[in-house]
Structure 1
């Protein structure tokens, strides 16, 4: 039997991974205990997405266990063992604001949970490909010290800088900078996944995501930028822009395009390799530009205000350079542009609101 194991399987990237892999493996094992609801309240509840997977994927099997507890993971790994061919680890505490409230919880989920999964893989499924969703926050505040220029609707990097053409590459330093508590816990996990590839020889791959987005995101104020923004545009709920005049720039990658990156890596893994993963120059926007798009798609004027206080660890301008991944896997490319993704997010949220799923 060939098995795919997905952590955070009821979340955005986890559920996309489960659906993507379901016709490629005999069984998809999902691990998710809906801790996102604990982090973000009812907006973060992923129960609807778990139900959707169980109803739509006949070969999906769900386990509501806590990755912080190796004792809860070990029976699953012992049961399936070497039949596990791929592990897509997306479970995380994903907010730098929330992490400061409970550093033990944040580090437990992001760092200890990742170590538990790596060790279970080494002991019970050493031939499996291990995919880790890291984050651009491992670079800390370093991107904010690039030569940035203020334009009418966005910050942009100076045209003379090497990053102007394609964005920030993997050689950008992750050291000597403030990360936020969340960024630090993800650095610990990121480095450990690299080490299990380089030291133990596991087939690990690290994907440092920009803004990961798509129609199945349980967006909340503290995490899920485009999904939460669109939800506010639809409902009329108030939205707050935090700092940088609303001109801070993010690149945005559709969940399908990211999981397709995972699939390309799985077919030809490079142990311990690190890749930036985002929308790049293909799909990016500032907060102000995203608000304009949401208003265009919904036909509603957004109810928002501005706070001068920026979030700690927030990037002013971040666009991912994907040239390294593209050079290693030339068959991959983006499929979903920014406006198309936002339309999908709109339709998904509107449908769930109509059915009172969120």
Structure 2
């Protein structure tokens, strides 16, 4: 079997590719290696993907290029995107290209392919906006996005729904909840907090760290993705959307406390009011995904943060030599 993974040099894409390769599946990876964060980290991830992995350096918005490399693949795992809520305030057109045109490009590949049987794509918990009831359920309307990033991810879901309606594409969207772990993204809060603590500079906590997030360890994310991979849609529900989270809301301040403990350094903290785009709390209802494939997140924050810290300390040393 051949699988196309977009964003293969990214945090989630790398881990998914690694898991598929461990199963003996041939992986065709694409990524534009954009400098949104340290490209050395993306290149280091790619170097770990070897037997059975083929990499193509390209932009998913380049439809013809994606179409060529996607020939003969049976499943597309589309996790490439311009990430980040706050970055979308300053660089909105990056989101239009990557998240809208890029998603449409992948849909067109799947539509015209004679081999693709299932398109799995990444959405986001941000689509629920700031006014949804907790825990978030997939039946929520999700029509009040509080950021451009959230709006683009919801638009991707709607585009996918229309392509299933028009062309019968079998698709699954996954709404990821605050993913963390080794080989993570430097723009994510937990990674930035670790950097600030190690460098002895102040870190910013909104509302004194009393916001709550459904922190989901990368291994649990991969387990959910593989569960969907193993249980493709049928004719009765050809397009599905699932939450994929840890089903626990944790205080951001507790996350910082765990980082302090395992880094062995106290944090210098500055508190600011919550930005309008940030929800007070996120928490996933994952019962639908559990019914599909038995998805059960297993990694608590108290276990996941020490694993991240161990990797992070090693990466801090290695990145200076890359």
Partners of 1:24 and 1:273 in 2: how far apart? 25
| Residue number in structure 1 paired with 2:268 | 303
- Is the 2:74–2:116 Cα contact (8 Å) retained in structure 1? yes
Structure 2 residue corresponding to 1:334, chosen from 297, 310, 320:
297
- Is the 1:30–1:60 Cα contact (8 Å) retained in structure 2? yes
Q: CA separation of 1:125/1:47 partners in 2, compared to 1, >3 Å: closer, same or farther?
A: farther
Partners of 1:25 and 1:47 in 2: how far apart? 27
Q: CA separation of 1:319/1:106 partners in 2, compared to 1, >3 Å: closer, same or farther?
A: same
| Residue number in structure 2 paired with 1:344 | 307
- Is the 2:14–2:45 Cα contact (8 Å) retained in structure 1? no
Question: 1:115-135: per-residue Cα shift (whole Å, max 9, x none)?
Answer: 101111121255332111100
Question: 1:194-227: per-residue Cα shift (whole Å, max 9, x none)?
Answer: 333344222211111110111011322xxx1222
| 1:207 matched to 2:174 | yes
Q: CA separation of 1:88/1:56 partners in 2, compared to 1, >3 Å: closer, same or farther?
A: closer
Q: Give 5+ residue unaligned stretches, structure 1.
A: 147-162
Which runs of structure 2 are paired with 1:183-194 in the superposition (5 Å)? Answer: 183-194=150-161
Partners of 1:245 and 1:125 in 2: how far apart? 53
| Residue number in structure 2 paired with 1:289 | 254
Which runs of structure 2 are paired with 1:185-334 in the superposition (5 Å)? Answer: 185-220=152-187, 224-242=188-206, 244-270=207-233, 271-281=238-248, 284-308=249-273, 310-330=274-294, 332-334=295-297
Structure 2 residue corresponding to 1:171, chosen from 132, 135, 139:
139
| Residue number in structure 2 paired with 1:157 | none
Q: CA separation of 1:55/1:265 partners in 2, compared to 1, >3 Å: closer, same or farther?
A: closer
Structure 2 residue corresponding to 1:139, chosen from 114, 128, 131:
128
- Is the 2:175–2:243 Cα contact (8 Å) retained in structure 1? yes
Q: CA deviation at 1:266?
A: 1.6
Note the aligned Cα RMSD (angstroms): 1.9
Q: CA deviation at 1:15?
A: 0.4
Question: 1:209-260: per-residue Cα shift (whole Å, max 9, x none)?
Answer: 110111011322xxx1222222323333331123x33211100111221122
TM-score using structure 2 length = 0.92
Q: Give 5+ residue unaligned stretches, structure 2.
A: none
- Is the 2:130–2:280 Cα contact (8 Å) retained in structure 1? no
- Is the 1:34–1:45 Cα contact (8 Å) retained in structure 2? no
| Residue number in structure 1 paired with 2:41 | 48
TM-score using structure 1 length = 0.83
* Partner SS state of residue 215, structure 2: strand
Partners of 2:120 and 2:100 in 1: how far apart? 15
Q: CA deviation at 1:26?
A: 4.2
Partners of 1:183 and 1:12 in 2: how far apart? 19
Partners of 1:116 and 1:235 in 2: how far apart? 41
* Partner SS state of residue 319, structure 2: coil
* Partner SS state of residue 335, structure 1: coil
Moved more, 107-116 or 46-55: 46-55
| Residue number in structure 1 paired with 2:105 | 116
